[in-house]
Each structure stands twice: as C-alpha cells, then as structure tokens.
Structure 1
Amino acid sequence: MEEIRAYIESGVLELYALGDISSEEKLQVETMASQHPAIQAELDEIERATILYADAYAVEPAPQLRDRVLNSLLTNFADDRRLKTVQHEDRDDVISRRLAAVSAAKPTASIFYKYGFAASVLLLCVSIAATAVLYTRLQDSQQKLITLTLSNQKFANQVNNMSEEINVFRDPSYKLIQLKGTQKTPASALTVAWSASKSKVLVDLQTAKLPAADKGHQYQLWAIADGKPVDLGVFDTAATDSADMKTMKSIGTAQAFAVTIEPRGGSVNPTMDQMVVIASL
C-alpha cells in the first residue's frame, strides 16, 4: 500500500490526465490502473475534477452577437429568398425578364449588398476571434487550477510527513538504530527508526551519509530476520525523495539492518559486496 500511495502522490496521474507524458509512461499508468483499483479511482477523480471545472467556467457567446450575425445573413440573401419559382414559362422569357430587372436596379442596391455582405463577414470573424480568446483563457485557467491542486497536494504531503516524523520521536515504541559504514565505505552512516510493536520502519534521509549512486541504481534496505535477509524496499537520497524520513516495508522481528546498492527497482537478494552500512541489534 505504501508503494501505491507513493505512486499516486508522484503527480504522474495528473500529467496523464493532461496528456503530458510519453507513450511508455502512459502505458505504465494504464497498466498500474488496471492492476490497482486505488490508482484507477484516483485517476477517475482527477479526470472528473477537470471536466467539472471546464463545465463550471464554460463561456458561450452573447445571444445578441448571434442574432446580429443571423440578421445580417438574412439581409444579404433576402433578394434570393424573394425569388418566385417559375413554372410553365418559356426559359427565354424568364431570362429576359430577369436581365431587365437587373438592368433597372439602382446602383445603390448593389453597393448596399456588397457592404452588407462585408459587414456580416466582419461580424463572423469577430465572433470567431472572441471565441478563440475565451478558449485560450479557459485553457490557462485549467492549467493554473491543476498546478494549484498539485501544489496543495504536495504541501499536504509535506505536512503529513512532518507530523509522522514528530510522532516517531514522541512514540516510545520506536528505536533509533544507527547503521555504520562497512570496510568498503567507512564514512557512511544512516539512522533507521523501527517500532517492533507497530512493525513500522523509517529511514532518516536528511542525515544520511551514503556513497553516491548513479541513475541506474538505488539504495535497498534489508532486515536480517531468523538469519535470512528480508527486503524492506528501495529509496534514493534526500535530494530525490520529497520527505526527510521515508516509510519502508513493515517488519516486526529483526536482528540487524543493512543497506546495499542495487539496480533501480531493487533485487531479490542483497549484493554483499555492495553493502554500505549495517547495524546489529
């Protein structure tokens, strides 16, 4: 559950909803959502919030502008609408009468038609431009809302982490274990907070002194229980992880703790020659 919560809080689901991730990351999100109902529920909630915000701030063009455009179009094409259907008449007679009507029309009528048509096109262009501006503003507002939501979520996570860190020092069931460097890295050090009764383990990233690990590797915490290594999860340095103390996998019984450098994602068994710190209880 801790890994699922961390994945939800990473912000990748919000980026997925925006479409701002690569195809590989999109496939990963869809795979995780299909495997974990909690992730799917969070993704649905994010998409629902985005839709509700768009509906709440949708802006339609003013009805007066629509009426003006339609009236202009009706005025421009009024002459064509008044033309009567001619039936059972000689085609030459019909053509002659229409040519005569056009010849007798005043020049001002042609000018009025041209300016009327130009005005209707101008109004249509203004309407399209106004709609584009409103759409751009709506997009900006949506982006700001998502950014604000992510910032609030990050702040809430920091508050929760600080509260949990304070509880560790107040709770007498926690034991602070100082892991010291091995012969390979004698200057290394790490503090582990462990509550056997609550089966909770946390590592202090703020004061950790560990050798640098490249992008392809992570630190992996191990517990020695009944003479066998037990995986307690992977972690990065304080510069990479968002919290000062990171909650690891649960364990209620242990005789020692150790940290090794493993390929990113962790290993099934510890790489002994990559052990950097260890402490026996």
Structure 2
Amino acid sequence: MENKEYIDSGILELYVYGLLSETESEAIATKAKNDNEINDEIIAIEKSIVALSSSFSPFHSVANYEKIKAKLELKHAKVIELEPTRNWSQYIGWAAAILVMVGVGYQYNQLNLTNNQVVKTEVEKVKMEKELQTLELQNKATETSLAVVRDVKNTVVALGGQAVAPESSAKVYWNKETQVVYVDAAGLPEPPKGMVYQVWALKLNPLTPTSIGLLDNFDKNNQRIFAVNSTGDAEAFGITLEPAGGSLTPTMEQLYTLGKV
C-alpha cells in the first residue's frame, strides 16, 4: 500500500489514540522507524491532539495536573480491567465495502434493465417496420384490385363451377386493348398441399388450351386477385387444379371453373 493510501486510511489516528491492538500498534511503530513520512505524520497527529487538549484547558499546568492526579489516586484501589477497545474502523470499512457492493450491484442491475429496454425497443421498431411494409403491400394490392374492378375497358368473364367443384366460381378481367388479364379467385377453395390452380385461355373450335399462368401463393394473397400472362384471342377461360409447377395440358378431370367470353 502506498504511503498516501496508508495515511488516508485513518489507521495512524487510531494508533495515536491507542485504539489498535498491540500487534497492530507494534507494526505501525516499526513502520514509523523505517519511514520518515509515516513518522512525521504520527508526530503531526500528536501535535494536533496536544493543541486540541490545550484549547479545552489552557490554564492547567503540568504541576497542577500532577496534583489533581495524586488526589484522584486511591490507595490499594482495585484495578478495573477495561474491555479492549474494539477496532471500529474495521467494521466501518466492511460496512462501506458492503454499501459500495450494493451500489455497484444496483447500478449494474439498472444498466441491464436499460440495455434490455433498448433491445426491446429495437425489436419493437423492427416489428413495426415489418408491419408497416406489410400494410403498404396490402394497400397496393387493394388499390390494384380496385383499379382492375373499376376499369370500364375490362371485359368481365364469369367462370362457373364444374362437376368436380360445382360451388366454385371465379372472374376474369380482360382488357382486350392491352391484353392484360387478372383473375379474381375469391370463389375457389384453397388448393391442397402440393397442388396449384392453373389458368387457361381457350379457343373452342377446335378446343385449344393455352396456359396463361399459375395462381401461386394462394393462401398469402388476401385479395385473391392474380395477374396472369396476357392474351389476345381467347374465346373462353378455364381454371384447373394441377400438381405444383403446373402442367403442359389441362387435367380435365380437375376442371374447377369454365366461362365463355
């Protein structure tokens, strides 16, 4: 321990006051003999005590002190054993250390709480950003759906349910000028796993089907409005249920809806 830390610890004051154990007092006395700085500090403390004592009884000389002492002494008086002075500085030191540890623990806990709150806030921010993006996509899909339905240039072809699914239905919005085709599949049941709806543009005589697209991600499309490939000369439209990835020719046994232009 450095001299400054040793002096600031208050142990030298306890030494001068006689509040240390014999072992501790001997250790300090030995240290003072070998260290001028420690010795000077002890002398300074003693001088301060003398000065303080004088300020309380400045008119009592040494001779008077001895006379008073002699009068107070009783012959054959029993020696009263005093209980050894406890080293309160140790208890104070331990108490201070405990307080520091409690304070550090509290600060550490508060820091963790703050960090957790920051992380939680960031997670909430990312979640809100994703939700906002989802809402924006849904709004765009809704706007697209409304634009398709309200476009007076579109020819609306109603597709009725067939034998395999008589309750099914769909609508085709076909702009003959731009050849853009949208399919409203809200009347179709969700396809089984591993299957997909395929849309066909049909020429009737002779019957010639041409695939114009798949209704992929059916369960994720809340509007159930799908853009498919363009076509310019369809006479009818049909929708079949096919294996994932689609088929080269329609599976007529799985023809869900059909409608003429």
TM-score range (shorter-chain normalised) is 0.5 to 0.7
Q: Distance in 2 between matches of 1:201 and 1:146?
A: 36
Cα displacement (A) at 1:137: 1.5
* Mapped contact 1:182–1:277 kept (Cα < 8 A): yes
Deviations 1:142-166 (A, max 9, x none): 2322332233233323332332223
CA contact (8 A) 1:232 1:249 kept: yes
User: Are 1:229 and 2:210 counterparts?
Assistant: yes
Of all paired residues, the percent bearing the same amino acid is: 19
1:254 positional shift: 4.2
Does the C-alpha gap of structure 1 residues 97 and 230 become closer, same or farther in structure 2, counting only changes over 3 Å? same
- Counterparts of 1:8-27 in structure 2, within 5 Å, are none
TM-superposed deviation, 1:231: 4.0
For residue 178 of structure 1, report the CA deviation from its aligned partner: 1.1
Counterpart check, 1:132 vs 2:98: no
Q: Alpha carbons of 1:140 and 1:264: their partners in 2 closer, same or farther (altered >3 Å)? A: farther
Correspondence for 2:27: 100
Distance 2:208 2:105 in 1: 79
Q: How far off its partner does 1:212 sit?
A: 5.4
Q: Which amino acid letter does the alignment assign opposite residue 118 of structure 2?
A: L
Tell me the residue number matched to 1:47.
none
Select the residue among 246, 249, 256 that pairs with 2:228. 249
* In structure 1, C-alpha distance between the alignment counterparts of 2:247 and 2:117, rounded to whole Å: 49
Correspondences of 1:141-160 after superposition (within 5 Å)? 141-160=121-140
Query: For 2:194 and 2:7, how far apart are their aligned partners in 1?
Result: 74
Aligned to 2:102: 122
Mapped contact 2:158–2:259 kept (Cα < 8 A): yes
Q: Is the 1:197–1:252 Cα contact (8 Å) retained in structure 2?
A: no
Cross-structure match for 1:213:
191
Distance in 1 (CA, whole Å) between partners of 2:123 and 2:193 is 31
SS of aligned partner of 1:100: helix
Unaligned runs of 5+ in 1: 1-77, 83-95
Give the AA of the match of 1:214.
Answer: P
**RMSD, aligned α-carbons:** 3.7
Judged with a 3 Å threshold, the aligned counterparts in structure 2 of structure 1 residues 103 and 159 are, in CA distance, closer, same or farther, namely farther
Query: Compared with structure 1, are the counterparts of its residues 80 and 126 closer, same or farther at alpha carbon in structure 2 (3 Å cutoff)?
Result: farther
The TM-score with structure 1 as length reference comes to 0.54
Larger Rg, first or second structure (1 or 2): 2
Equivalent positions of 1:47-58 (< 5 A) are none
State how far apart, in whole Å, the 1-side matches of 2:7 and 2:243 are: 78
Per-residue deviation, 1:110: 1.9
In the alignment, residue 250 of structure 1 is paired with which amino acid? N
Deviation at 1:133, TM superposition (A): 0.9
Cα pair 1:233 1:266 within 8 Å, conserved: yes
2-structure distance, mates of 1:109, 1:203? 88
| Aligned-residue offset at 1:190 | 0.8
* Partner Cα separation in structure 2 for residue 195 and residue 121 of structure 1: 78
Deviation at 1:97, TM superposition (A): 9.4
Q: Say if 1:260 and 1:228 are closer, same or farther in 2 by CA, change over 3 A.
A: closer
1:214 positional shift: 2.3
Gaps of 5+ in 2: 10-22, 32-85
User: What amino acid does structure 2 have at the position aligned with 1:163?
Assistant: E
